[in-house]
Structure 1
């Protein structure tokens, strides 16, 4: 009987798989792995699923067309100085020139130089004011206040119900890590001042893009809908809202799904309000922003941020990995354009140094370690327990094994969000109102929301997922 089983198994495996099987057995790993497959099948299923779908696609440079952008920013500085215009761009304007479409930047500079030559000072001042407005928008976009829930108003009740619909659509698992019991995270802050944003989009991304986004950004119902939300586990939620990671939409499919690409952003040492003075070297500024400026650097992934954590041993969470967001229960996936906007603005914020910890006191005090590594996310207990890529020291790019910086997990186990334990949560999770709303929302869970019944976890398990 054992010989028959062995032959049957051998016939289904290739040579490399057989070697791996024997290796596991030799080091006493095969038995525990088989026991784990029996006792925790969902964990093994998550590993296999993540491995099979964690394909990489080509990764664009962190700053594409970098030399063209350097030239265009130099044109801006030269025009301001030559025409004696009273404006010195900040690092936020520099970051916009590193991200916004090159053709739009070139067009705006052509207009600025023509208006300055022709003494059309009203148009010149309009451009300068739009640059100043853009500075405000970037800070507002990454601020905690823009994402906070503000009390028991009807709008925030709708927001809470939409969060449940988002998690229902994503079958109550994180869209990236596949961990259970995720949080619904807003992609675009619902409290941002849209006229300022649209003015910035018109200036740096073009009128066509601004007009297309206007319909979404000006619609409060959309901003508080599942189409403006992602299901992320607690760790990824914190990183996303802190500007550590971004999701770039790649394409839509005929089946109403959306393919996105995972990116780690860099941690610039620039200060957003710092002025880019004329005597500064752009190469020094780029180095401070951690933008590679040497053509000998490998393109693509090497220029993106350094990974800070793993998911089921790192599957699906490297820069370039792709994931699919699907429509389920007639609840559509996030909007392509709003994900693209978020991806661009997060990169701008990261370059200029605006992506500071959302709960700075927690980072200083070390109270946010439960966002990293080991935690209880539903029924499965994942305890990675590793030291975040060597404990990156943001001060001098030095690895210190004794430090407890980002991701150094102290053995805490997070049992989820408690009503009196919100102080270490990102953005709106820092808000006491959210804790109260979430507690109150348990009573709303079975009510109908815009024709959709908010079902419980039992329904999710019954329906299954794609």
Structure 2
């Protein structure tokens, strides 16, 4: 008990006491709710130094062709994609004198959100058979918060699968992932029978659904068990970069991208369970299904974990379609000043 009070702090205890006086049942719900189990949290990005060295090597290769390349999207890919595949790509470029194409970076990360120019699906579409199957499987509650009246969230976004323009995404997978993985993922998201089935859905509260669609958090698939798929919640760090901004070598690009944060936690603890218990990075959840064919797809979850991190690092989640089309100078694609200001404030507090 003493440890719990110390962790909450005086202000937190006061808030709980005030809530208990206003609603005695709230205190009971809070006390009786057992937080989801947490498991060790691995580094946000593994082998950062090796990845940065490979990115710098790619930058050097680009110089004769594009003075300002590469951009934030390529940086994000180098931070997330398998190191073995990045090394193979660079070796191929060196041996074949392949001109490093700028289309590596076009607008690939937004494929996991919405393809540019694709309108959001209407309510009449999202609340159809897919929505019914997902909510029915999950007992009509958010699997993370326990709240009722959830939304049926697509692991692979509906707007993208509806548009069925996978050129950028397929190209990215071919360059940065091995053939077996890219083929497996493509087989999943190119099939409407899968993307519009319960395999591609998770019941989430409307607020959590919004954060998921905007790459504020991602789900790391840990293992498959007889009971279901175990996923780990990760708040994603905010980046001041935007997908097409040029990444300059004299800047602290890893800090700007949210890869390094001088010891700060990943993101903000914004989500809560029905009782008020906070959902934090590292907590695990079991995605269940009575029928094996309704189980959320491991492959789509794995793909989501990779591409949402790319979207967060490159800043793709924070831009609109206009960003890709309505500009006259590259500098107009610039940094996210709001996020940059918050980042400076955090650093100032901890110096």
**TM-score, scaled to structure 2:** 0.78
Query: Taking structure 1 as reference, are residues 333 and 100 closer, same or farther at Cα in structure 2, changes over 3 Å only?
Result: same
**In the alignment, structure 1 residue 175 sits paired with structure 2 residue 143:** yes
- Any idea what the Cα deviations from partners look like across 1:392-433, whole Å, max 9, x if unmatched? x63422799xxxxxxxxxxxxxxxxxxxxxxxxxxxxxxxxx
Query: Taking structure 1 as reference, are residues 261 and 358 closer, same or farther at Cα in structure 2, changes over 3 Å only?
Result: farther
Q: Which whole-Å CA distance do the structure 1 matches of 2:91 and 2:311 have between them?
A: 26
Q: Residue 100 of structure 1 contacts residue 204 of structure 1 at CA under 8 Å; is this kept in 2?
A: yes
Q: How many matched pairs? A: 314
Deviation at 1:32, TM superposition (A): 6.1
Q: Could you tell me which residue of structure 1 aligns to residue 70 of structure 2?
A: 89
Q: Could you tell me which residue of structure 2 aligns to residue 9 of structure 1?
A: none
Q: Could you tell me which residue of structure 2 aligns to residue 186 of structure 1?
A: 154
Matches within 5 A, 1:328-339: 328=290, 332-339=294-301
- Any idea what the Cα deviations from partners look like across 1:253-294, whole Å, max 9, x if unmatched? 023x000000111111112111224xx325x22222232176
**In the alignment, structure 1 residue 104 sits paired with structure 2 residue 85:** yes
- Any idea what the Cα deviations from partners look like across 1:232-256, whole Å, max 9, x if unmatched? 001101111111111111110023x
Q: Which whole-Å CA distance do the structure 2 matches of 1:230 and 1:194 have between them?
A: 23
Q: Which whole-Å CA distance do the structure 2 matches of 1:151 and 1:310 have between them?
A: 26
Q: Could you tell me which residue of structure 2 aligns to residue 142 of structure 1?
A: 113
Q: Which whole-Å CA distance do the structure 2 matches of 1:198 and 1:129 have between them?
A: 16
Q: Residue 121 of structure 2 contacts residue 158 of structure 2 at CA under 8 Å; is this kept in 1?
A: no
Unaligned runs of 5+ in 2: 5-12, 323-337, 346-351
Deviation at 1:308, TM superposition (A): 2.7
Query: Taking structure 1 as reference, are residues 240 and 47 closer, same or farther at Cα in structure 2, changes over 3 Å only?
Result: farther
Query: Taking structure 1 as reference, are residues 164 and 359 closer, same or farther at Cα in structure 2, changes over 3 Å only?
Result: farther
**In the alignment, structure 1 residue 270 sits paired with structure 2 residue 225:** no
Q: Residue 150 of structure 2 contacts residue 204 of structure 2 at CA under 8 Å; is this kept in 1?
A: yes
Q: Which has the larger radius of gyration?
A: 1
Q: 2:101 aligns with which of 128, 139, 148?
A: 128
Q: Could you tell me which residue of structure 1 aligns to residue 32 of structure 2?
A: 48
**In the alignment, structure 1 residue 221 sits paired with structure 2 residue 166:** no
**TM-score, scaled to structure 1:** 0.60
Unaligned runs of 5+ in 1: 1-13, 18-23, 117-123, 361-392, 401-466
Q: Which whole-Å CA distance do the structure 1 matches of 2:19 and 2:114 have between them?
A: 48
Query: Taking structure 1 as reference, are residues 29 and 276 closer, same or farther at Cα in structure 2, changes over 3 Å only?
Result: closer
Q: Which whole-Å CA distance do the structure 1 matches of 2:315 and 2:23 have between them?
A: 47
Q: Could you tell me which residue of structure 2 aligns to residue 311 of structure 1?
A: 273
Deviation at 1:61, TM superposition (A): 1.2
Structure 2 SS opposite 1:394: helix
Q: 2:225 aligns with which of 243, 253, 263?
A: 253
